[in-house]
Amino acid sequence: MIELHPIMAIGEVRPGDDLAGLLAPALAGFVCDGDDILVVTQKIVSKAEGRFVDLGAVTPGPQALELAAVTHKDPRLVELVLAESDAVVRAVPNVLITRHRSGHVVANAGIDRSNLGPGDPERVLLLPIDCDASAARLRAALGALMSSAPRIVISDSFGRPWRNGVINVALGASGLPALIDRRGEIDRDGRALEVTQVALGDLAASAAGLLMGEGAEGVPAVLIRGLSAPDEPNTASALVRPVEQDLFR
């Protein structure tokens, strides 16, 4: 059996906050073991890292103005999206999808305007600088505060081509195989497996998404217990399909 526990009551996260210090007391009721996975929202990581930007301080350049006209979006937001991205994947009315510099393909470069806490309504929140690095730091910091640190997934909710509604994916991971590679294994009848790579980080993120919701609940983290995974850790960057293998360029 796998258990999913909502981790609450860490309060509003502010720039400079020590996330591990906030999360450790909320995890105190659990005797974590090395198989446990703590999924945290990208939002609290970004807030702790102070990734807020005041739109009033942004001056859109020519490309942002052009794309803003196409997408009907705020040119200042588009300027930030472009600064955070390596390539524009799709720009049509109300839609701006880019390849974030981390490689993840996401709407609006993952920039967020909701549930940012009290403050300037023109404030937006960028993704963390490097989610895999943030996950590794959080895992190390929790390890210093707890007898055994959980594996870490940093999650965000993404839309998808062809399917309605968002799901949760892994933008950062530490201590678990975000991508399980089973090439070479065989099925129960001795035939080669057709499915050889499993996006464990994304599965864990979506499982946590059952509790995180998107609304007023504010569940910033979920502890997944009872899942055994191969001890071959890799990062969420393993989930990014290289551009040259992208079928929809």
Nearer to its own copies, 63 or 197 (CB): 197
- State how far the Cα of 120 lies from the Cα of 127, in Å rounded to an integer: 18
SS3 at position 37 = strand
Tokens at 223, concatenated: 């502890």
**Closest separation in Å from C-beta 106 to its own copies:** 9
The region, left, alpha or beta by phi > 0 then psi within -120 to 50, assigned to residue 24 is alpha
- State how far the Cα of 174 lies from the Cα of 228, in Å rounded to an integer: 15
Nearer to its own copies, 59 or 94 (CB): 94
**Closest separation in Å from C-beta 228 to its own copies:** 10
Contacts of 60 (CB under 8 A, 6+ apart): 68, 75, 76, 78, 79
**Closest separation in Å from C-beta 134 to its own copies:** 19
**Closest separation in Å from C-beta 108 to its own copies:** 9
Q: Which residues bind its own copies (CB under 8 A)?
A: 1-6, 90, 92, 95, 97, 104-105, 112-118, 121, 157, 160-169, 179-180, 182, 185-189, 191-195, 197-200, 202-204, 206-207, 209-211, 213-216, 218, 224, 227, 238-241, 246-248
Nearer to its own copies, 9 or 61 (CB): 9
- The amino acid occupying position 242 is P
